[in-house]
Amino acid sequence: MMDLECHGVRVERNRRAVIEIESLRVRGGRTTAILGPNGSGKTTLLRVIAGLERAQAGRITFGGAPVVSGSSIAFVFQEQVFLTRSVRDNLELGLRLRRVESAQRRARVNDAASLLGVSHLLDRRADRLSGGEGRRVSLARALCLRTPLVLMDEPLEGLDERTYSRLLDELPQLLSAFDATTLLVTHNGREALQLAQDLVVLVDGRVHAAGDKRDIATRPPTSAVAEALGYFVLSAGGRSVAVAPDALRIGTGAVPFSMVVERVLDLVERREIVGRIGEARVRVPIEAHEVPPSADDVVIVHAERSNEVS
Amino acid sequence: MSELLAIDGSARAIALRTLLVSGAATALAVLIGVPIGYAIARRTFPGRTLLLGLVNTGMGMPPVVVGLIVWLLLVRSGPLGDLDLVYTQQAMVLAQFLIATPIVIGFTSASIQALPERLPDLLIVLGAGRVRRLWLLAREARLGLLVAVMAAFGAIVSEVGASMIVGGNLERSTRVLTTAIVTETSRGEVERALALGLVLLVLSFIVNLTLTIVQQRPR
């Protein structure tokens, strides 16, 4: 499987660098999530790789050769983008443009539609699909191209919760069906960890961490990386520590914090205290039998696990 | 009423001339206006809003004013007088082209802007070359694009002022249906004017029906 490599890539907008990457290697045959907060340049990087935007400097190669849009790439857009034709026509379009002969075209479309569970939609107008259906058809369109490089821009963004959870659960298996080097953009740390094997954390257009997700998620090297992963970055004894969102508990422990309570959330099956530890906004679960604190109370919480970040 | 049923040879020539002049002006306006409308819709550049404002103003420009400006340019003492075009069909095509182009640009720009923003990107990543991409986008926007053609043709085939001023309403060379109707009415030949009016309506209906059939074809 071929690696994707970026060297000295610089993208400017209004004379300001929005992407500045000295060197980045995305390992072939794996799924890599580009993770970062809004405005960090994730989508721009994906568009530059796809050839939809130009970099002012640098070189992007896939398997050692420049990436060619429209032959080696499948792209899944964040928005639903379809021609006002049937789902089948939309799925076939890319194959027609790549001059795939008609019997093979039909077979590939039927296979991809069946895998994504959209066979029953093939004769429907693609521009009239629901959010979940549209997302599945977009994935099927990418899948039937059978390209060695698949780029996905927030593939689960904007779905209702039920559809989101279902697709999130199904997507890792679907991604393995692509049998490609897959790069997906997300701002959701949980989603990145669930879908990808490797992570690239992008903050302000620069790569803050890249590599195996376990190495990065268990020991986020900087506070920016920790925050991108959804960790709370808290100050403890003059040091900054990253605490996973599920690692804070009421009571004292090895790494204790004073938390100023803002309110208690009643989520029916559980309750959470929302408040502040220093500048950070945090949530801590509270047991059903415990008496909830009031606003402005100070409670002691501790991190079950944490690691120091720079 | 006999005039309504028996359109004579000169009326047929006038109708044919009308179709020729307005058809040529519409074709030129589409040729120039569609790419400009597309560029305004898809690109951002300084002065874009001002340009769109000018185009929108141009969509409602009085034909008689356009006619006057073209006449001033083409008249013998004018800056383009040497071309010797005043009172010719070419001058009429030019004036009607100037009336039709902002209409084509305006409708094209609106119909392209109504397409999904990422559609051109999708076509690029699917592997469509520039020509194929434009063709596919035009097909997607065809409702709006054909409205542009119909609106432009409708505006110029029915205008009188510009054709009268730059064409001069010369009987065997620049008289078109609208100017002929004015002439016949002023002569008191109301029946003949009405007959020519009916021809104009039928002509316009046939052209628009053809375009509507293309527009409404199932996708």
Best of A75, A98, A150 to mutate (most B CBs within 10 Å, chain B): A75
Q: Do A84 and B122 touch (CB under 8 A)?
A: no
Provide CB contacts within 8 A for B30, sequence distance 6+. Answer: B104, B148, B149, B152
Domain boundaries, chain A: 4-218, 231-309
Q: Do B125 and A83 touch (CB under 8 A)?
A: no
Residues of A in contact with B114 (CB under 8 A): none
**Distance, CA of A33 to CA of B47 (rounded, Å):** 39
* Radius of gyration from C-alpha coordinates of chain B: 20
Strand order in the sheet with A181-186: A73-76, A149-153, A181-186, A31-35, A198-203, A206-212
A92, closest residue in chain B (CA to CA): B126
B119, closest residue in chain A (CA to CA): A81
**Chain B closest-CA separation from residue A14 CA (Å):** 13
Is A70 an interface residue toward B (CB < 8 Å)? yes
**Chain B closest-CA separation from residue A109 CA (Å):** 15
Residues of A in contact with B136 (CB under 8 A): 83
Q: Do A94 and B127 touch (CB under 8 A)?
A: yes
- Encode chain A (310 residues) as per-residue pLDDT tens digits: 789 999 999 999 988 999 999 999 999 999 999 999 988 999 999 999 999 999 999 999 998 888 876 678 999 999 999 999 999 999 999 999 999 999 999 999 999 999 888 999 999 999 999 988 999 999 999 999 999 999 999 998 888 888 888 889 888 888 888 889 999 999 999 899 999 999 999 999 999 999 999 999 888 888 899 999 989 888 877 788 888 888 888 888 878 888 999 998 888 888 899 999 988 889 998 887 778 888 888 989 888 888 888 7
CA proximity to B173, closest of B18, B6, B4, B9: B18
**Distance, CA of B3 to CA of B16 (rounded, Å):** 18
Q: Which residues of chain B have pLDDT under 70?
A: 1-7, 218-219
**Distance, CA of A309 to CA of A114 (rounded, Å):** 46
The pLDDT score that the predictor gives to residue A59 is 93
**Chain A closest-CA separation from residue B31 CA (Å):** 24
Q: Which CATH number fits domain A231-309: 3.90.120.10, 2.60.40.2230, 1.10.1740.10, 2.40.50.140?
A: 2.40.50.140
The pLDDT score that the predictor gives to residue A236 is 77
Q: What is the pLDDT of residues B18-73, one digit of tens each?
A: 999 999 999 999 999 999 999 999 888 899 999 999 999 999 999 999 999 999 99
**Least CB–CB distance from B127: residue in A71, A77, A80:** A71
Dihedral sign for Cα atoms in the order B182, B183, B186, B188:
negative
**Chain A closest-CA separation from residue B129 CA (Å):** 9
A47, closest residue in chain B (CA to CA): B121
Q: How many CB pairs under 8 A join A and B?
A: 49
**Chain B closest-CA separation from residue A124 CA (Å):** 12
User: Could you tell me which CATH number the domain at A4-218 has?
Assistant: 3.40.50.300
**Chain A closest-CA separation from residue B115 CA (Å):** 9
Residues of B in contact with A93 (CB under 8 A): 126
Q: Do A70 and B127 touch (CB under 8 A)?
A: yes
The pLDDT score that the predictor gives to residue B219 is 60
**Least CB–CB distance from B140: residue in A74, A84, A97:** A84
Residues of A in contact with B137 (CB under 8 A): none
**Chain A closest-CA separation from residue B137 CA (Å):** 9
Is A124 an interface residue toward B (CB < 8 Å)? no
A127, closest residue in chain B (CA to CA): B116
**HEC readout, A134-185:** HHHHHHHHHHHHCCCEEEEECCCCCCCHHHHHHHHHHHHHHHHHHCCEEEEE
CA B15 to chain centre: 16
Number of helices and strands in chain B (H, E): 11, 0
Residues of B in contact with A154 (CB under 8 A): none
User: Could you tell me which CATH number the domain at B2-216 has?
Assistant: 1.10.3720.10
The pLDDT score that the predictor gives to residue B6 is 53
Q: Do B119 and A81 touch (CB under 8 A)?
A: yes
Q: Do B124 and A84 touch (CB under 8 A)?
A: no
User: Do residues A103 and A153 lie in contact, with contact meaning Cβ atoms separated by under 8 Å?
Assistant: no
**Least CB–CB distance from A83: residue in B117, B125, B140:** B140
Helices B89-113, B142-157: crossing angle, 10 deg rounding = 150
Task: Label residue A296 left, alpha or beta by phi (over 0 means left) and psi (-120 to 50 means alpha).
Answer: left
Is A117 an interface residue toward B (CB < 8 Å)? no
Is A295 an interface residue toward B (CB < 8 Å)? no
DSSP string for chain A: ---EEEEEEEEEETTEEEEEEEEEEEPTTSEEEEE--TTSSHHHHHHHHHTSS--SEEEEEETTEE--TTTSEEEE-SS----SSBHHHHHHHHHHHTT--HHHHHHHHHHHHHHHT-GGGTTSBGGG--HHHHHHHHHHHHHHH--SEEEEESTTTT--HHHHHHHHHHHHHHHHHH-SEEEEEES-HHHHHHH-SEEEEEETTEEEEEEEHHHHHHS-SSHHHHHHTT-EEEEETTEEEEE-TT-EEES--SEEEEEEEEEEEE-SS-EEEEEEETTEEEEEEE-TTSPPPPTT-EEEEEESS-EEE-
The pLDDT score that the predictor gives to residue B95 is 97
Q: Do B124 and A51 touch (CB under 8 A)?
A: yes
Chain A 36-65, residues with CB within 8 Å of chain B CB atoms: 47, 50-52
Residues in chain B whose beta carbon is closer than 8 A to a beta carbon of chain A?
A: 116-119, 121-122, 124-128, 132, 136, 140, 219
If one counts every other C-beta atom within 10 angstroms of the C-beta of residue A29, the result is 13
The pLDDT score that the predictor gives to residue A144 is 93
β partners of residue A201: A35, A209
The DSSP symbol for B163 reads I
Residues of B in contact with A73 (CB under 8 A): 125
User: Do residues B38 and B112 lie in contact, with contact meaning Cβ atoms separated by under 8 Å?
Assistant: yes
Q: pTM of the predicted model, to two decimals?
A: 0.80
